[in-house]
Structure 1
């Protein structure tokens, strides 16, 4: 084919080809071959082609070289580049593609921040779910629901980032959820940490050995008293006192002048008479010494103290599946405020026998003054059960095991502060009082030691921590004395269990654990406690809680911890112990239980309903000053001259010892 040499010939060929296409009903787009034509004079361009040139800062005239030969090639110095050889239509398309890509890139960059937020949200959701799994308090159905909700929220927020108008809503929602997730993770981390602290069983116990002088003695420190003559007890607690003496001697670089005594009364009297200058003793015994030597605490002054730590030798803690097998817990309430750093008397001694499969709990109270042998301490002699707490929780457990001939798996030891804080953390409790009565409760204040007055009504009472503790401690103004107090203590425990077993405990779980930090000691593991909460949340079952008490005869006997004079004690009734033991055996065997059978001694102690009527127990303690002075002057004990004022005429003296 002859090559066309002129533009007219090319146009003629183009028209011929166009007519052929039209005849066939087809439109064929002209393809430009640079080998045929180097440059088109002025081809037709798109309608908005001029705008394209203007955006590039050019004009159409600039694009075409008017000085070039009409048919010839471009001069070498004006030779077009490969890009310039493209047609206007192709350059326009390239420009459109470039602008579209830039717009898409800007749109992608515009939403990248929101997508990053959603992935942070996803990461925090994963961490939260892992924390729930580690804490192990949520049932599987709750855990699955929480996971589905968190994943849905992530997908929802992520998809919002692709919308032109709703992406801002997605960003704001994601930020809110991130804040909530951060708070949730911190909350769960704190909960796990507190739970581990609370369930970390103490491997040692602390006794505070003090050096006391008369209040008017000029000595202000142990250095001032290094040449004094010191009196000590030769019996119990001698090993701990000897450790303190050794420590003092090393600090003073000299031996102390020591005199030994067999009774506290003799030791205290010699201090009063000036036969010795100071006495060294375990401060745990303050109340015991005060009871038999009224005014002792006010008459002496502590010039120094030393903490003696001794190892707590406990039997191995059983790793029982406590959500499937029955177990027994010893609940010990210590006669102290503050932390559990020091040993002290066990004011409350309750067994909680639990069968998780039959959902039953048996609470068994033993009088604090029960006259029993303390294994490993008294060696054949007897003492008050409350005194076992002064030597360590292991001796209280051993004593309770001996009374009932059972094995006690676990223990929970709390003090007065723990009860107050636990009740307050749960938002108060509802207790059922058998009758209306009033009480003077000691609201602890290190500066003032103030007393306050409160009245309880017959029936349901909503109580905060202070009033719940007072309800559990009152015995002087209770119709049944110590036995009514034991019943009230069980009512408080039952009310706490009602709050703890409800799903609402989840919202206050961390606060509840925090309230027990430093005021509770237990050998339950953190996973065991969590499994109990998980079990209750899963089945939300109702529990059958049965209360019982061991009764005894009032007497006065010599005690191993204080041999000076006979002390008030309760000699436990064997038939009463047997009646309780029968119910314990039934519960452990999985049988449905009820209250133990009524023994002959229990019938004697039962209070007639008519004795609870009227307002006697409300108005019995009406005079603040008189009651307050009486307690401070007489240490809480009554003598014959006080009976007409403070004691109901029909009440036996032994009930108010």
Structure 2
């Protein structure tokens, strides 16, 4: 029989009817359905997000629809051979994965945007499951069968919320309850529990205690639960510009000296950075003000408990105890400027953001190096390029004891860290770390920028794709010794620099008017970069405190001796005074019960 006849006979059944071909491409059909649904959902989410300009939404939608249509047409009608079907199947699979990730990307952006823009009206309570750094537990799932220490008597509501969170994820664990925070921490370090359930409001208490000063570097967080409650009163109004996409504006970034959540309480402002943004020219000016700048406080007028007499002077850092609005208005009075918005961050914000980005790159110049960090007694950074984690970035941003010009170098370090974070965010690495970064940023800061303003600014940026230029200026000041209102005691401060105040004001005004800040000359004579002999080291100071031994390693006596006496409750880095006979700070011993 001819071959053609054989082939025909194989397609006919015993009744003489032609057989229907079985569908041998179910995977192609599944990918087609998945691609269409994912594409429709992605376009819907992009529109709902309300961050992209209309013309960009249309462009993205048209490109994605055409790309999907071309792939599906080729897959179903053009790809006949095995090799061509396989290749187009792989292309379709890549398209499906891309659409799925795009949906996740937009969903995370949308949920984070909702959280960030509502923080001014919310109070966040963050509870963490914490393990020792050497622990083999790296993620929530690995808590199965482990023992978690709790302090229900002290923190029942937040603890039970966290345990319910673990239960909902089908994590089978055991708990061991303790009556006090100290008892739980002793068991944690002794290995009697595998992890602890810690309300983040207690982290700052641990950091200030003698026994657990290095808790932040000794431990890791493997799971968090964040609970938001609405706050009726908004005591942090903004001074908005008419159009945030066209008008220049200034934002105060206030870095609180605490770990944990931002909404629990007011704490000192460890860093005070002004960001002056001109959307039209794509210029950002960073202006740093010393933490211990001796300024006239502007106190809240509607709160008798926080009010202070007119003419009350103190360190700028202490204004944070009365709220970020007090810090903002105090800076406005000192520099003669207007601040439009504010953003609050804290130590945990910096650590979590940097870690979510898988670290940042710091290029340490001569005069910026540190042998041992004062804040956590960990090895410092030598001259050269370093990739650092969040805790190291924070320690570098807070370091002043290792430098001859102390607080002046600290603000330069803070600017260096901020620039490195910004550079990392706009790098390709951001794509692989997007989920972690969005989770971190959701609880990293609070702000009085409205959701509409943030949305409008982001739309403008995406519409114009500005090549941002970052300029910087740091006010330099000389040490002094003055009476401080908050502590009701004399303490070390840095005196206001009237010349640099005026320069800072003019630079801010220049950027707002569309000019570069470099057009304003600085006649003060102070350098904006560290001198090569600036790094004087702090190992002798740490040895005197008993934290380091003569070999430069952490003292075993400091690690193990519970009788070691050093009063962290006075407030770290805040207990010095200036000795007129010595160019460096010396330790002060004043204590005031109202200071904390």
Using structure 2 for the length normalisation, give the TM-score: 0.64
* SS of 2:113 mapped into structure 1: helix
CA displacement, residues 194-250 of structure 1 (integer Å, 9 cap, x when unaligned): 22212323236699xxxxxxxxxxxx999xxxxxxxxxxxxxxxxxxxxxxxxxxxx
Larger radius of gyration: 1
Q: 1:320 to 1:655 in 2, by over 3 A?
A: farther
Correspondence for 2:308 among 378, 383, 388 = 378
What secondary structure, in the 3-state scheme, does the structure 1 residue paired with 2:380 have? strand
Give the aligned partner of residue 651 of structure 1. Answer: 583
Q: Given the alignment, which residue of 506, 511, 514 partners 1:582?
A: 506
Q: Which residue in 1 is equivalent to 2:402?
A: 477
Aligned to 2:46: 132
Q: How does 1:95-134 map to 2 (within 5 A)?
A: 99-100=17-18, 103=19, 106-107=20-21, 114-115=28-29, 117-134=31-48
Instruction: Write the distance in 1 (CA, Å) between the matches of 2:107 and 2:291.
Output: 39
| 1:549 alignment counterpart | 474
C-alpha separation in 2, matches of 1:330 and 1:108: 67
Q: Deviations over 1:558-610 (max 9, x none)?
A: 333222x222223323222111111111111111221853344x54x888835
- In the other structure, the counterpart of 2:343 is 412
Q: 1:597 aligns with which of 521, 525, 544?
A: 521
**Conserved 8 A contact 2:254-2:344:** yes
* d(CA) in 2 for partners of 1:502, 1:517: 20
2:537 is aligned, of 594, 599, 617, to 617
Alignment match, 2:226: none
**Matched position secondary structure for 1:331:** strand
2:279 to 352, 356, 375: 356
Contact kept in structure 1, 2:402 and 2:537, CA below 8 Å:
yes
Deviation at 1:350, TM superposition (A): 0.9
Corresponding residue of 1:182 = 100
Deviations 1:128-163 (A, max 9, x none): 233234443595666654443333223333436888
Residues 546 and 595 of structure 1 are in contact (CA less than 8 Å); yes or no, is this contact kept in structure 2? no
CA contact (8 A) 1:437 1:456 kept: yes
Stretches of structure 1 that go unaligned for 5 or more consecutive residues are 1-47, 58-94, 208-219, 223-281, 299-306, 444-450
Q: Aligned in 2, Cα 1:633/1:115: closer, same or farther, shift over 3 Å?
A: closer
Could you tell me which residue of structure 2 aligns to residue 368 of structure 1? Answer: 291
Aligned 8 A contact 1:324 1:357 in 2:
yes
Give the count of matched residue pairs.
Answer: 462
Change (3 A) 1:612 1:396: closer
Structure 2 counterpart of 1:68: none
CA 1:147–1:325 in structure 2 vs 1: closer, same or farther (change >3 Å)?
farther
Matching of residue 203 in structure 1 with residue 121 in structure 2: yes
Give the RMSD, CA atoms, in angstroms. 4.7
Distance 1:397 1:110, change over 3 A: same
* Inter-CA distance 412–156: structure 2 relative to 1 (3 Å threshold): farther
Query: Aligned equivalents of 2:454 and 2:68: distance in 1?
Result: 27
Task: Call closer, same or farther: CA 1:154–1:200 in 2, change over 3 Å.
Answer: farther
Distance 1:597 1:639 in 2: 36
Cα distance in 2 for residues equivalent to 1:108 and 1:633? 81
Secondary structure in structure 2 of the residue aligned to 1:578: helix
Question: How far did 1:514 drift?
Answer: 1.1
CA contact (8 A) 2:405 2:534 kept: no
In structure 2, the residue corresponding to 1:379 is in which secondary structure?
Answer: coil
Distance 1:357 1:158 in 2: 49
Task: Provide Cα deviations, 1:265-296, integer angstroms capped at 9, x if missing partner.
Answer: xxxxxxxxxxxxxxxxx999989xx9xxx999
* Counterpart contact for 1:554–1:654, Cα < 8 Å: no
Residue 341 (1) aligns with residue 274 (2): no
Distance 1:558 1:639 in 2: 13
SS at 2:119's partner residue? coil
Deviations 1:9-43 (A, max 9, x none): xxxxxxxxxxxxxxxxxxxxxxxxxxxxxxxxxxx
> Is the 8 Å Cα contact of residues 388 and 395 (structure 1) preserved in structure 2?
yes
Q: Residue 456 of structure 1 aligns with which residue?
A: 381
Distance 2:458 2:520 in 1: 29
Q: Residue 440 of structure 1: CA displacement?
A: 3.8
Contact 2:357–2:429, Cα closer than 8 Å, also in 1: no
Contact 1:455 1:618 in 2 (8 A): no
Alignment correspondent of 1:248: none
The CA deviation at 1:618 is 7.8
CA distance in 2, matches of 1:407, 1:639: 32
Question: Which of the residues 459, 476, 487 maps onto 1:562?
Answer: 487
